[in-house]
Structure formats: structure tokens, C-alpha cells
Amino acid sequence: MDYRTEHDSMGEMQVPAWALWGAQTERSRRNFPIGVGLETMPTEIIRAFAQIKKAAALTNRALLPEKMTQAQCDAICEAADAILDGALAEHFPLVVWQTGSGTQTNMNVNEVIANRGNAQAGKRLLHPNDDVNRSQSSNDTFPTALHVAAAMAVEQRLLPAMDELIDALRRLEAENEDVLKIGRTHLQDATPLRFSQEISGWRASLEQDRRMLTASLPPLKELALGGTAVGTGLNAPAGFDAMVAEKLSALTGMAFSSAPNKFHALTSLDELVFAHGAMKALAADLMKIANDVRLLASGPRCGLGEITIPDNEPGSSIMPGKVNPTQCEQVTMVAVQVMGNDAAIGFAASQGYFELNTFLPVCAYNFLQSARLLAESMAAFTERCVSGIRADRARMGQNVERSLMLATALSPHIGYENAARVAQLASAQGISLREACAALGFLSPEQFDKAVRPEQMV
């Protein structure tokens, strides 16, 4: 492989000749051979950095025209656009497991933009620190990139996937408005309800999760940019923080603002914890919904069998004809991963020391993985399972008629304890509630039929 010589404040480094990164990126690449090729810095963070560098260049051009020439600004913007187009993806090799401030990823972006700009200009037009990183620090750019990427992931990926699943449940709810089924509490028979009512519980849970996720967006859209090294804004011109947030908003189409307290913004991750907490709540509800679906579909002959779900693939290498609820299983595995990610983010957020939290890359990795997994999991679950759920009306009807918990309707007529005696006798002798009630002399069969009307119990 051919190499070229690059240098930074620590001296010279040999860098692959084809690479646009420089000495600081190369040092990180060599010093942190951890998860190489598997756990590189998320693409969403690199894209957020590209937007930040473009917004910063435009702001510096407006506020510091003597320091940021039009040619320099144009070169930074062109290189940032190339990153956003995906043309330079191979030039971002660094892993998550690096410095906790993300400094090396910030410098990776600075070096790639500078070298790209210089190559396009045919001369040394940009310096990675003096020009691309002007008015910035890794300590404010990485938290900003984290907030930008997180807000985009929630707003542009997660919420649309949730909406598709909610819509599918709403359609399923409408289709089953007239279907009675037995309820279950403690995994035991309970009083009846409509299948549509059960589905409405699933839908309402997701709608509540959506409201909580939406509530987490405004804090995520407050940015640390402009705080520079420790929150004082050293080396940034007056008004940089507000203007760069405006520029970033215009570039992304999202309403970002400058964090009112930069000392908080650099050291605290509470906004991220709050937002991921809403994702954990979503994961918990998805776990519950997926488990309900696979239990209701259990069988086909020896389980509950109250619904059918699509047959997507063979379920066994030894048992011919077996089909498993695989979409439910992927949802529950994703839910477990998200809950684990939440623990990691919570621990990391508690580790801010003085003016900086140095667990930023791991938070970025876990948050963005959760958002991506949940969005993709819900999309697959919606298309390949929920949209194909069908109620077995006959099976549900039989279960309602056989349930001993219909005895609840007898309580107003014969009292709780006598109704319990009816249920106990029916269970012990394997007879119907109607027969048990008559045998005990509480109600005639005709009186029983008037008292116990499952359709009126919902």
C-alpha cells in the first residue's frame, strides 16, 4: 500500500495515500483496534457532523468574513455535501470505542473535509483545526451531533414506523368490532370483552408511547454548539450559537435552537436519557403486544388458537409442517436489546465529570441502534404479522361459552359466594354453569339465560 506523510501537533504520521483522513484520525485508527469493521461510529453521527460543519462554515462566513473566506466556506460546504451524499463513506473508519468525548471523530470529519477541499481546490485552502473546526470544539460538536442524530432518528424513522403499526391495529380493531372473546388475567380465564377492545389496548399503548417520544423531541433539539471547550464559548464570536442553530435548522428542516445553558449541555445527557426512556417504554409495550399475539395464535390445535397469523417460513428442521410466530420473536428480541441499551445509556449519563461527559460515543451507538432496531422491527411486524392477523370467531365463541368466569354475571342475582359455588361445582363436575346453577337451586335455566348474557358483559 502507498502512504503519504501527514502531521499534527504531535508529529508526523504515515497515512494510506488514498485516504482523505489525516494524522489524528490515523492515530485513533491505530490506537483503538476495538470492534473494527463491526462497531464503527454510526453513519447518523457522521452525517450530523457534516451538517454541523456546513452550518458552522456559513455562520463563520457571516460573523467572521475576515477569517472565513467565501472560497473556504464553499469548499467546506461542498465537502460536507459529498459526505451527506454518501460519496466519502470509506473515509470514516473510526470505532465507537475511542476517546469518550468523540474528539477523534470530530477530527476525522475535519480532516476529511479539509483534504477533500484542498484536493478540489488544487492548493492548501483549508486547515482541519483552524478553518473546518473554527468557532467549535469537539466538546460541543459531538453533543450537538448526538442530539441532531437522535432527533432525526426519532422524528424521521421511529415515529413513521409507529404510525404504520398504529394504523394497522386501528384497521384490525374495526374489523373485529363484533367479535366476543374471553378475557384473561393472571393467564387465567376472566370476563368477556370484544376482540376490538383488546386490540384497542395495544393501539392506545403505542399512541401513549408516541406522545412520550414526541415530548422528548424539543429538549433534544437544544444544541450545545457555541459552548466550545467548557461552555464559555471561548474562541467563538458573539452570536455564533444562535446563528449556527438557525443555519442548521435551515439545512435539516428541523427546528433546532441553542441550549440556554452550555455548561449543562456539555456535561449532562438527561435529554438523551429521557428520550431513550420513551423508547424503552415503547419496547416494553411491543414486548407485551408481541407476546399477546403469539399466545393467542398458539397451536394450531393444542394451544389457544384464537387468532391466526401469517405463515412466513418453515419453523422446524425436524417437524414437518411446523410454523412458528417468528415476527413476534424478533420483536421481543429487539425489545430486550433496547432495554439493555437503556441501562448502558443510564449508566453513561451518570458519569459526567466537571465540565464534560466522556461517555458520548457509547451513548450515540446505543441510542441510534435502539431507534433503528425499533423502526425496522415495527415495519416488519406490521407488514408480516399484524396486517395478516385473523380472528378464529368460532374458537373465540366456544371459549366464551365454556368460561366459568361468566359466573360474574350471577353475582348481582345470587351473591358473590353463591356464584363462586356455581363456578366451583361446574369445574369439579365438568358441567356447564347453567346446569350447576340449576342443580344448586339458585336459578332456573330460563332465569340463568336472562342473567348471563355475554354480549352484555362487554
Which residues are tagged catalytic? Answer: 186, 316
The one-letter amino acid code at 320 reads P
Distances (CA, A) of 71 to 53, 117, 178: 15, 10, 69
**Three cell numbers, residue 198:** 383488546
Asked if the bond preceding 143 is cis, omega within 30° of 0, the reply is no
Alpha helices per DSSP H over 321-443: 326-349, 360-384, 393-402, 411-414, 416-429, 433-439
Helix (H) / strand (E) containing 53: helix 43-63
DSSP 243-306: HHHHHHHHHHTS--EE-S-HHHHHH--HHHHHHHHHHHHHHHHHHHHHHHHHHHT--SSSS---
How far is it, in rounded angstroms, from Cα 189 to Cα 408? 12
Is 108 in contact with 141 (CB distance < 8 Å)?
A: no
Q: Give the count of beta carbons closer than 10 Å to the beta carbon of residue 398.
A: 13
CA 79 remoteness from chain centre: 30
- 120-128: long-range pairs with CB below 8 Å, 24+: 120/75, 120/78, 120/79, 121/71, 121/75, 125/71, 125/72, 125/75, 126/72, 126/75, 126/76, 128/22, 128/24
